């Protein structure tokens, strides 16, 4: 727990770093510095998050190429920087983030409302993983004639899914459609049941939160992110050309 | 509780002419779809305050209108009860909502966790523990809540016998109403209310096993092979890794290009069509007693019925991997499942706590022993 970034530090640093991207007018040096800083302080977690969101970055890069390759690259780096700075919050404990929000005088009722869906996020991800797992084995109801099925280990008797190469794309689209249908259904059912659970548990808009004192690592992060913000302001002023 | 009539919002009559008085700890039994969950939800006002519908009758809990302050309700799917990321906070959550300080609530949570024997889970994330362990956490939440009455909907469905017995003994000190299909625990309760149990009895079918050389080599990693038409039960305590093992077997079989179906504990993962009849082949509809609901949307059914649809859907292949298939199923279906597996000459690996089911399988693999190897 103590290895994680303290909640208030995480929020302030993330704000400083993402503001730096904007104030420096998406300067690639600033963006890359933010990326390295976040990678060090989140112990590589930011790279994992970036990897999962890489497709959005590539979309930004590709769409930017239609206008100006230089701008596309700047926007791509800015995207990396924004996601990296956001990962600072993700690398902190959720209870500390709630504690930080209450410390910054955000109403407890509001924090309570956002705390519930955030706590459920891992369950939703588990659902997605399980549905993908189940769907990866699914076969069309009519494509199997169980009278011919065999469970024998020899290859001649094993049923291989009859996949016509011409139909692969249609099958994949169908699979994604089925996956989405199952996910939406599960999510709706989960929402109803979760609201039932909140009713039963007497939910009264109270939050379980923590506030702990900052460590030397947190102070270093705060110092570096505020320095970067200061530097970005100067950089932005020099780049500012009103006429 | 005196209910003249309760009609669901969709117009379907759920309960008619029902009168009962609960006291001490009560055991509520009945077949799937008999209205157990509906009755239990009436005790804390979820019905009709949350689910609406028309209720004609009178319900009093300790002389008052049903309310959520006096009555704590736990539904049958523990994953749908989660409100916090961490086990300690999950147990403390209702107490904090009642106005207790976070530190006091956590202290109470630790005491209850010790009593139930889940103190080793306190620092873990709720989504990293097994369904059975999560069930224990949610029961701990109810016990810690300081409610006058605890209402539990199938609390033992995912629990090993050892854990279930421990819970039953603790519940003795509480006022509780427990709707359950596992009748082996009925004797531990003060009173039993029966909403109708069917027990048809099914003939034993003997299926010839193939010679040992005709085995399914499911794994060098998993370490056991499966014979054609064989029913293998995987048992073990909660959190021992039964589901994980089943998933590993599935991946192994997929690698070998084999055709099989897997049914996980949460049945809605498997249901993607808009009608039951589109999910399940006609010949299985009758056997699984799904005729009456064949036109319904699968996701609108009760958990027990959904699981039945998911299993029936899996019957399209010859090899089945079933994770707790009898959880939430009535006494009759628990006996019928083995009969159907034999009738259709299926080969199955079943992860289960259900002792009736285990006894009828050809081979039992205890995962605790397996892990110690």
pLDDT score recorded for residue A155: 40
Mutate: best of A201, A207, A211, partner B, most B CBs <10 A = A201
| DSSP secondary structure, A104-121, as one string | TT--HHHHHHHHHHHHHH
Which residues of chain B are within 8 Å of residue A149 when distances are taken between CB atoms? 259, 317-318
Mutate: best of A202, A206, A209, partner B, most B CBs <10 A = A202
CATH superfamily of B215-372: P-loop containing nucleotide triphosphate hydrolases (3.40.50.300)
> Complex ipTM, two decimals?
0.87
Test A122 with B125 for CB contact under 8 angstroms.
yes
Q: What distance in Å separates the CA atoms of residue A49 and residue A212, rounded to the nearest whole number?
A: 26
Q: Is A242 helix (H, G, I), strand (E, B) or coil?
A: coil
* Fold category of B2-194 in CATH: Rossmann fold (3.40.50)
Which residues of chain A are within 8 Å of residue B261 when distances are taken between CB atoms? 137, 139
Low-confidence ranges of chain B (pLDDT < 50): 213
Q: What distance in Å separates the CA atoms of residue B223 and residue B238, rounded to the nearest whole number?
A: 22
pLDDT score recorded for residue A164: 56
A122 — contact with chain B (CB < 8 Å)?
A: yes
Q: What distance in Å separates the CA atoms of residue B235 and residue A174, rounded to the nearest whole number?
A: 36
Give me the tens of pLDDT residue by residue for chain A, a chain 243 residues long: 446 899 999 999 999 999 999 999 899 999 999 999 999 999 999 999 999 888 898 998 888 888 888 889 999 999 999 999 999 999 999 999 999 999 999 999 999 999 998 888 888 888 889 998 888 876 544 444 444 444 444 443 334 444 456 677 887 788 888 888 888 888 888 898 899 999 999 999 999 999 999 999 999 999 999 999 999 998 887 765 554
Which residues of chain B are within 8 Å of residue A133 when distances are taken between CB atoms? 247, 250, 264
Q: Which of A130, A155, A208 sits opposite B96 (nearest CB)?
A: A208
A128 — contact with chain B (CB < 8 Å)?
A: no
Q: Which is nearest to B200 in space by CA: B292, B276, B289, B327?
A: B289
Q: What is the 3-state secondary structure (H, E, C) of chain B?
A: CEEEEEECCCCCEEEEEEECCCCCEEEEECCCCCCHHHHHHHHCCHHHHHCCCEEEEECCECCECCCCCCEEEECCCHHHHCCCCEHHHHHHHHHHHCCCCHHHHHHHHHHHHHHHCCHHHCCCEHHHCCHHHHHHHHHHHHHHCCCCEEEEECCCCCCCHHHHHHHHHHHCCCCEEEECCCHHHHHHCCEEEECCCCCCCCCCCCCCCCCCCCEECCCCCCCCCEECCCEEEEECCCCCCHHHHHHHHHHHHHHCCCCEEEECCCHHHHCCCCCHHHHCCHHHHHHCCCHHHCCCCHHHCCHHHHHHHHHHHHCCCCEEEEECCCCCCCHHHHHHHHHHHHHCCCEEEEECCCHHHHHHCCEEEEHHHHHHC
A185 — contact with chain B (CB < 8 Å)?
A: yes
Q: What distance in Å separates the CA atoms of residue B109 and residue B84, rounded to the nearest whole number?
A: 13
Q: Which of A120, A131, A151 sits opposite B82 (nearest CB)?
A: A120
Q: Which is nearest to B109 in space by CA: A204, A44, A208?
A: A208
A203 — contact with chain B (CB < 8 Å)?
A: yes
A190 — contact with chain B (CB < 8 Å)?
A: yes
Test A182 with B262 for CB contact under 8 angstroms.
no
What does the DSSP 8-state code read for residue A165? G
* B123, closest residue in chain A (CA to CA): A1
Test A198 with B127 for CB contact under 8 angstroms.
no
**Residue A197 distance to chain B (closest CA, Å):** 5
A139 — contact with chain B (CB < 8 Å)?
A: yes
Q: What distance in Å separates the CA atoms of residue B328 and residue B197, rounded to the nearest whole number?
A: 14
Domain ranges of chain A: 7-93+210-239, 107-138+164-207
Contact in structure between B337 and B200 (CB atoms under 8 Å): no
Contact in structure between B153 and A200 (CB atoms under 8 Å): no
Q: Which of B258, B262, B347 sits opposite A134 (nearest CB)?
A: B262
**Residue A2 distance to chain B (closest CA, Å):** 14
**Residue A81 distance to chain B (closest CA, Å):** 28
pLDDT score recorded for residue B177: 95
Work out whether strand B25-29 and strand B176-179 pair parallel, antiparallel, or are unpaired.
parallel
Q: Cα(first)–Cα(last) distance of chain A, in Å? A: 52
Work out whether strand B215-216 and strand B226-227 pair parallel, antiparallel, or are unpaired.
antiparallel
**Residue B342 distance to chain A (closest CA, Å):** 15
Domain ranges of chain B: 2-194, 215-372
Work out whether strand B363-366 and strand B347-351 pair parallel, antiparallel, or are unpaired.
unpaired
Common-topology check for domains B2-194 and B215-372: yes
* B106, closest residue in chain A (CA to CA): A208
Contact in structure between A208 and B84 (CB atoms under 8 Å): yes
pLDDT (tens digit per residue) in B184-202: 899 999 999 998 877 777 7
What does the DSSP 8-state code read for residue A161? P
The count of CB pairs under 8 A between chains A and B is 167
Q: What distance in Å separates the CA atoms of residue A183 and residue B36, rounded to the nearest whole number?
A: 28
Test A136 with B254 for CB contact under 8 angstroms.
yes
For residue A209, what is the enclosing H or E element? none
Test B316 with A144 for CB contact under 8 angstroms.
yes
* B146, closest residue in chain A (CA to CA): A201
Give the number of other CB atoms < 10 A from CB of residue A43.
12
Test B269 with A186 for CB contact under 8 angstroms.
yes
Q: Which is nearest to B317 in space by CA: A43, A199, A147, A233?
A: A147
**Residue B11 distance to chain A (closest CA, Å):** 20
* B272, closest residue in chain A (CA to CA): A182
Residue B25: phi and psi, rounded to 5, are -115, 130
A186 — contact with chain B (CB < 8 Å)?
A: yes
Q: Which of B82, B84, B299 sits opposite A185 (nearest CB)?
A: B299
Contact in structure between B195 and B27 (CB atoms under 8 Å): no
């Amino acid at each position: 727990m103590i290895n994680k970034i303290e909640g208030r530090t995480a929020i302030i640093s993330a704000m400083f770093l993402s503001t730096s991207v904007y104030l420096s007018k998406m300067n690639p040096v600033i963006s890359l510095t933010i990326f390295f800083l976040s990678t060090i302080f989140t112990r590589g977690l930011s790279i994992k998050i970036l990897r999962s969101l890489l497709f959005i970055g590539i979309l930004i890069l590709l769409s930017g190429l239609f206008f100006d390759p230089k701008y596309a690259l700047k926007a791509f780096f800015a995207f990396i920087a924004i996601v990296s700075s956001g990962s600072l919050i993700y690398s902190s404990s959720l209870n500390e983030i709630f504690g930080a929000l209450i410390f910054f005088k955000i109403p407890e009722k509001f924090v309570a409302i956002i705390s519930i869906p955030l706590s459920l996020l891992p369950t939703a991800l588990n659902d997605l993983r399980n549905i993908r797992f189940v769907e990866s084995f699914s076969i069309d109801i009519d494509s199997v004639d169980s009278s011919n099925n065999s469970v024998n280990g020899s290859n001649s008797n094993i049923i291989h899914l009859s996949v016509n190469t011409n139909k692969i794309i249609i099958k994949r689209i169908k699979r994604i459609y089925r996956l989405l249908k199952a996910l939406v259904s599960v999510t709706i059912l989960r929402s109803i049941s979760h609201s039932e659970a909140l009713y039963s548990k007497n939910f009264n808009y109270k939050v379980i939160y923590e506030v702990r004192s900052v460590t030397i690592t947190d102070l270093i992060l705060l110092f570096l992110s505020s320095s970067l913000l200061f530097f970005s302001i100067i950089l932005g002023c020099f780049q500012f050309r009103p006429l | 509780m005196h209910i003249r009539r309760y009609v669901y919002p969709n117009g379907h009559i759920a309960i008619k002419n029902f009168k009962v008085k609960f006291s001490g700890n009560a055991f509520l039994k009945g077949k799937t779809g008999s209205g157990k969950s509906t009755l239990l939800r009436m005790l804390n006002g979820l019905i009709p305050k949350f689910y609406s519908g028309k209720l004609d009758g009178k319900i009093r809990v300790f002389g008052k209108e049903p309310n959520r302050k006096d009555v704590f309700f736990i539904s049958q799917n523990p994953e749908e009860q989660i409100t916090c990321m961490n086990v300690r906070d999950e147990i403390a959550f209702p107490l904090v909502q009642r106005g207790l300080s976070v530190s006091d609530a956590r202290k109470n949570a630790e005491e209850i966790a010790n009593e139930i024997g889940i103190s080793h889970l306190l620092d873990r994330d709720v989504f990293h523990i097994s369904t059975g362990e999560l069930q224990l956490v949610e029961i701990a939440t109810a016990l810690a809540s300081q409610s006058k009455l605890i209402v539990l909907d199938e609390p033992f469905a995912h629990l090993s016998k050892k854990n279930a017995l421990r819970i039953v003994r603790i519940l003795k000190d509480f006022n509780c109403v427990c709707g359950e299909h596992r009748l082996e625990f009925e004797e531990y309760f003060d009173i039993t209310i029966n909403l109708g149990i069917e027990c048809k009895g099914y003939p034993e079918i003997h299926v010839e096993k193939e010679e040992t050389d005709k085995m399914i080599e499911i794994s060098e990693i998993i370490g056991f092979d499966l014979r054609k038409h064989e029913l293998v039960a995987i048992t073990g305590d909660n959190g021992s890794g039964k589901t994980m093992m089943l998933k590993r077997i599935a991946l192994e079989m997929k690698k070998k290009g084999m055709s099989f179906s897997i049914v996980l504990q949460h049945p809605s993962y498997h249901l993607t069509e808009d009608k039951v009849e589109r999910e399940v082949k006609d010949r299985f509809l009758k056997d699984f007693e799904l005729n009456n609901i064949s036109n319904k949307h699968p996701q609108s059914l009760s958990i027990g019925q959904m699981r039945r649809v998911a299993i029936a859907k899996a019957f399209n292949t010859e090899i089945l991997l079933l994770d707790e298939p009898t959880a939430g199923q009535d006494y009759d279906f628990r006996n019928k499942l083995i009969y159907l597996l034999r009738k259709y000459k299926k080969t199955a690996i079943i992860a289960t706590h259900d002792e009736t089911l285990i006894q009828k399988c050809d081979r039992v693999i205890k995962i605790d022993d397996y892990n110690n190897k």
